[in-house]
Amino acid sequence: MTKEYEFLNQINFPSDLKKIPESKLQKVADELREEMIDAVSVTGGHLGASLGVVELSVALHFIFNTPNDKLIWDVGHQCYPHKILTGRKDKIRTLRQGGGLSGFTKRLESEYDPFGAAHSSTSISSALGIAEANRLSNKSDNVIAVIGDGAISAGMAYEAMNNAGASKTKMIVILNDNDMSIARPVGAMGTYLAKIFSGKIYFSLRETIKLITSAFSKRFTAKAGKAEDLLRSAVTGGTLFSSLGFYYIGPIDGHDLSSLVPILRNAKDSKHEGPILIHIKTKKGKGYSFAEQAKDNYHGVSKFNVKTGEQIKSINKTPSYTKVFADTLIQHAKKDSKIVAITAAMPDGTGLNSFRKEFPERTFDVGIAEQHAVTFAAGLATENFKPYAAIYSTFLQRAYDQVVHDVAIQSLPVRFAIDRAGLVGADGPTHAGSFDTTYLSTLPNFVVMAASDEAELVRMINTSTEINDRPCAFRYPRGIGLGSVLPPINEKIEIGKSKVIKEGKKLAILNFGARLNETLKAAENLKKKGIDITIVDARFAKPLDENLIWQLATTHEAIMTIEEGSIGGFGSHVVNFLTKKGLMDNNLKFRSMNLPDIFIDQDTPENMYKKANLDSNSIEEKVLDLLNSNIVLQKQK
């Protein structure tokens, strides 16, 4: 820590927090909030959500016996104060850095993280599993899941609540309602929670429970318990949560420790059989004025100046791939009224916020519901609309069954704009786009493309507008482009047609995706060593450019494939083609370069690609190895 605090300096673990007088917990929360703001200003990260749960984090660790009592944070965006209180205070300034703390909960990092979470809506399911394990093991430890109002809009959360209510398993679910997930929550659940909150019950219930649980009201405990039941049934007995079998309490002020602490203590000591849901109301970005006033409440921030709130961002006039996608789609939508865009609660991250400004009625934010998003897009496609489902690669994994059954089998022309392809940096392995080429290119009649630069991305979007007989996908990385000149929107690519970038001898490299620039760097160094190679921008993993591959296989000694995806993707399809055609029988040498069979921890994208052996040096070394060259590779310093 860089500051001296009255209480926080004494707290390394929750056992230390329990030594602080209950009357001083708000001071602890204030210091915790100050320390977190200071730390994230250095590292960047998901600040807004964590600011909103400072008091809740303090109250939970004060009341419950973690790590024996299991505390599960949904998504992990809100876990920073939890990390500071659970033995990671001195490492908090390594957050999201190479070799440092993960930006999410992570089992390997701490015993206080019983379940890793970086995709939303998993907390109730995992908590129920742990609670059932406790029951089977005759353990009486508590299990607490903290889920946000955005995350509870997803179907998985309701599947879990339905199961939990029916099984009457003892567990506690805390609904952190801040009216703001990554973007504003959409759908009926947001409206429903707003109605509960706006009712007169908020202050009356809060004050009633404070009375019930007050240390000065012990003699009224029995009567108070009946009063609480009466009030709950009279005012909230018809809530959805009660109908699902949860004992519902709330909503209460999530920043009022004088309410939170006694209510959590009551929940902990409750003899109630079955799950309890405590609905708290919080403010995302709470306690930091710049976060409170920002449109996104500082959901994800880069490094920033604590005093001014100004985020430190590199100035670059080159547009991001995401912006190029959105701008190009807008141009097409102006000419084609059938084009519609779909996002699963990520309008800003996918660039569709700008599309929505132009075409509000043709933009659909379906909430944190990727499965629904895909089948919804399929329904649109049956009526001759042209749906573009803009979904991060890592999130599209959640809808694979729908991609197979609802889109691919029916050959519906849904267009998948796959953002964040490849390794993504600080968000680490949970957000890496490692598998989409593999899981999509195995599907019959699917067109799978990858952009090597932003100009190719434009061409692929242009091409996708006229693919009306089958589904297609085009993948592109996070971050800014290479500064390539963008082509007009009428410039398309022949389906399955690769592009030869340079011609050489002996060895041909087929690059699929955004490693092309690194491949060209390797080629420059190899040329200095007397090795001139052919380089191809493959563009398509499916269908393959079989004619070109045949030609290269019969005119070169060796072929290499390069891709920023897992095994089973582009390279696997190439070698399968070569084997089927007997081309491997002619002493053809072959190597594939893809992501290794590991999950790569967070770091800068450059360092992550070095670890993956997909940087220019690694490409150069692989070429020399393949050609059995005696030339000594001079590593770049």
Specify the pairing of strand 499-502 against strand 143-148.
Answer: unpaired
Specify the pairing of strand 172-177 against strand 247-253.
Answer: unpaired
Q: Is the dihedral of CA 288, 290, 296, 302 positive or negative?
A: negative
Mean pLDDT for all residues in the chain: 88
- pLDDT, mean of residues 49-71: 96
DSSP letters along 605-625, please? Answer: HHHHHHHTT-SHHHHHHHHHH
Burial of 501 (0-12, 13-18, 19+ CB in 10 A): middle
Query: Other CB atoms closer than 10 Å to residue 527's CB: what's the count?
Result: 13
* DSSP reduced 3-state for 91: helix
User: How confident is residue 237, by pLDDT bands cut at 50, 70 and 90?
Assistant: very low
* Predicted pLDDT at 442: 96
Q: Give span(s): CATH 3.40.50.970, the chain.
A: 50-77+103-280, 321-475
For 601-618, how does the pLDDT look when each residue is reduced to its tens digit (9 = 90+)? 999 999 999 999 999 999
Q: Which CATH architecture has domain 500-626?
A: 3-Layer(aba) Sandwich (3.40)
For 10-28, how does the pLDDT look when each residue is reduced to its tens digit (9 = 90+)? 999 999 999 999 999 999 9
Which range is least confidently modeled, 30-34, 74-78, 631-635?
631-635
Q: Percent of the chain beyond pLDDT 90?
A: 73
Taking 70 as the threshold, does the pLDDT of residue 206 lie above it? no
Which range is least confidently modeled, 168-172, 402-406, 408-412?
168-172
Distance, in Å, from the CA atom of 616 to the CA atom of 634, rounded to the nearest integer, reads 12
Which of the following is catalytic: 170, 286, 398, 515?
398
580 an active-site residue? no
* Predicted pLDDT at 45: 84
Angle of the 54-63 helix axis to the 257-269 helix axis, nearest 10: 40
497 an active-site residue? no
* Predicted pLDDT at 297: 72
Q: Percent of the chain beyond pLDDT 70?
A: 88
- pLDDT, mean of residues 84-93: 94
The residue among 226 and 277 whose pLDDT is bigger is: 277
Q: Which pair of structure tokens corresponds to residue 126?
A: 């995992």
422 backbone φψ class: left, alpha, beta (φ>0; ψ -120 to 50)? left
Which of the following is catalytic: 96, 284, 286, 611?
284
591 an active-site residue? no
For 147-188, how does the pLDDT look when each residue is reduced to its tens digit (9 = 90+)? 988 888 888 999 999 999 999 899 999 999 887 555 555 556
Which of the following is catalytic: 31, 35, 370, 518?
370
The residue among 499 and 307 whose pLDDT is bigger is: 499
DSSP letters along 18-35, please? Answer: TTS-GGGHHHHHHHHHHH
- pLDDT, mean of residues 56-84: 94
- pLDDT, mean of residues 308-312: 81
- pLDDT, mean of residues 110-133: 94
**Which one is the CATH code of 321-475: 3.30.499.10, 3.30.300.30, 3.40.50.970, 3.40.50.850?**
3.40.50.970
For 514-560, how does the pLDDT look when each residue is reduced to its tens digit (9 = 90+)? 999 999 999 999 999 999 999 999 999 999 999 999 999 999 999 99
Which amino acid, 113?
D
* Predicted pLDDT at 192: 62
Which range is least confidently modeled, 233-242, 253-262, 290-299?
233-242
Which of 208-212, 378-382, 529-533 is predicted most confidently? 378-382
- pLDDT, mean of residues 402-429: 96
For 252-288, how does the pLDDT look when each residue is reduced to its tens digit (9 = 90+)? 899 999 989 999 999 999 888 899 999 999 998 888 8
pTM: 0.87
* Predicted pLDDT at 315: 73
CATH superfamily, domain at 50-77+103-280:
Thiamin diphosphate (ThDP)-binding fold, Pyr/PP domains (3.40.50.970)
Taking 70 as the threshold, does the pLDDT of residue 209 lie above it? no
Report which secondary-structure segment, H or E, holds 461: helix 454-464
User: How confident is residue 636, by pLDDT bands cut at 50, 70 and 90?
Assistant: very low
Taking 80 as the threshold, does the pLDDT of residue 232 lie above it? no
Q: Is the dihedral of CA 268, 272, 274, 276 positive or negative?
A: negative
Which range is least confidently modeled, 128-132, 240-244, 478-482, 548-552?
240-244
